[in-house]
C-alpha cells in the first residue's frame, strides 16, 4: 500500500538556526497534509496543515511547503529554540478520514 515516508530519521540543528524537515508521500490523490510535533511521553501536537490546492502556508515560526509535482512536503522552523526538540511526524489524509503517518524525524536542538 501507499505510505508516507521521511528522508531523515534524525536531525541536529544549532540553536537559533533554521531547520527543515522533509517528507515524501506516494499517494498523489491525498488532499490534506498535517505536521505534528511529539515531545517525549506526550501525545502528538498539531503544528500546521496544508491542503493540496496550496503550495505554502505559514504559521508562527513555521512554514509548510508542498510540492505536488515531486510529492514532497517540508516543515521549516525558523530560529530554532530548545523547546523545538521533539519528534516531528507528517501525515496525509485521503478520502476516508484515516491519516497515514510517516515514521517521524527526531529533531535535536544543540545549545
Partner 1 sequence: SQTIHQWPATLVQPVGSPLSLECTVEGTSNPNLYWYRQAAGRGLQLLFYSVGIGQISSEVPQNLSASRPQDRQFILSSKKLLLSDSGFYLCAWSREGETQYFGPGTRLLVL
Is 44 a binding residue for partner 1 by CB under 8 A? The answer is yes
Minimum separation from the CB atom of position 13 to partner 1 (A):
20
Minimum separation from the CB atom of position 47 to partner 1 (A):
10
CA 89 to chain centre: 5
- The answer for 104, left when phi > 0, alpha when psi is -120 to 50, beta otherwise, is left
Among 60, 69, 70, 98, binds partner 1 (CB under 8 A): 98
Minimum separation from the CB atom of position 7 to partner 1 (A):
15
Is 42 a binding residue for partner 1 by CB under 8 A? The answer is yes
Residues that contact partner 1, how many (by CB under 8 A): 20
**Closer residue to partner 1 in complex, CB, 7/79:** 7
Please give the full DSSP string across 13-36, using - where no structure is assigned: EETTS-EEEEEEE--TT--EEEEE
- The answer for 98, left when phi > 0, alpha when psi is -120 to 50, beta otherwise, is beta
Beta-carbon contacts of residue 59 (< 8 Å; ≥ 6 apart): 47, 48
Minimum separation from the CB atom of position 104 to partner 1 (A):
6
Q: Which residues bind partner 1 (CB under 8 A)?
A: 32, 34, 36, 41-46, 49, 89, 91, 93, 97-99, 101-104
Amino acid at each position: 500500500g501507499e505510505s508516507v515516508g521521511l528522508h531523515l530519521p534524525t536531525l541536529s540543528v544549532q540553536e537559533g538556526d533554521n531547520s527543515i524537515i522533509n517528507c515524501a508521500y506516494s499517494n498523489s490523490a491525498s488532499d490534506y497534509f498535517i505536521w505534528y510535533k511529539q515531545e517525549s511521553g506526550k501525545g502528538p501536537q498539531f503544528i500546521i496543515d496544508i491542503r493540496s490546492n496550496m503550495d505554502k502556508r505559514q504559521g508562527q515560526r513555521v512554514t509548510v511547503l508542498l510540492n505536488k509535482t515531486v510529492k514532497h512536503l517540508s516543515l521549516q522552523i525558523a530560529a530554532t529554540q530548545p523547546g523545538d526538540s521533539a519528534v516531528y511526524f507528517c501525515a496525509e489524509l485521503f478520502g476516508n478520514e484515516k491519516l497515514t503517518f510517516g515514521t517521524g524525524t527526531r529533531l535535536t536542538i544543540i545549545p
